[in-house]
């Protein structure tokens, strides 16, 4: 199991955050120095902020979803309790929107 950039996975984010879909943000690197995956959670709550990306209707998600870039987090790639199963892939144009929102979130772009 090796989550790849642009994939959507079902993940167990713990008691408070619960099991929810996530988007993998980590770059594709066959030999990273640490086996850590960076991801952003999806939510059904859209607050209309620039920290969010409303996703198009995706067949592998049961509800309309929004990427919450303020929730960026990381976890051990090998932790099968975190990364439960792959749900699907984001279309490239949607991943570009997520990337732009990420740059805004971390203060690199306006």
Domains of the chain with CATH codes: 7-105 (2.30.30.110)
- Digit-coded pLDDT (tens) for 43-59: 999 999 999 999 999 99
Write the CB contacts of 15 (distance below 8 Å, at least 6 apart in sequence): none
* pLDDT mean across residues, the chain: 93
Residue 1 is predicted with a pLDDT of: 65
Q: What is the mean pLDDT of residues 72-85?
A: 88
Residue 67 is predicted with a pLDDT of: 98
96/105 Cα distance (integer angstroms): 14
Q: Hey, CA dihedral for 80, 86, 87, 90, is it positive or negative? A: positive
Phi, psi dihedral angles at 41 (to 5 degrees): -80, 155
- The pTM of the full predicted model, rounded to 2 decimals, is 0.93
Whether 52 and 97 have beta carbons less than 8 Å apart is answered as no
Residue 32 is predicted with a pLDDT of: 86
Residue 31 is predicted with a pLDDT of: 86
């Amino acid at each position: 199991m090796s989550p790849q950039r642009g994939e959507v996975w079902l993940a167990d984010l713990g008691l408070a955050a619960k099991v929810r879909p996530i988007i993998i943000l980590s770059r594709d690197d066959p030999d990273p120095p640490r086996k850590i995956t960076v991801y952003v959670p999806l939510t059904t709550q859209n607050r209309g902020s620039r920290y969010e990306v409303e996703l198009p209707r995706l067949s592998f998600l049961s509800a309309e979803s929004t990427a919450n870039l303020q929730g960026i987090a990381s976890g051990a790639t090998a932790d099968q309790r975190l990364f439960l199963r792959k749900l699907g892939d984001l279309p490239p144009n949607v991943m570009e929107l997520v990337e732009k929102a990420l740059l805004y979130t971390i203060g690199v772009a306006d």
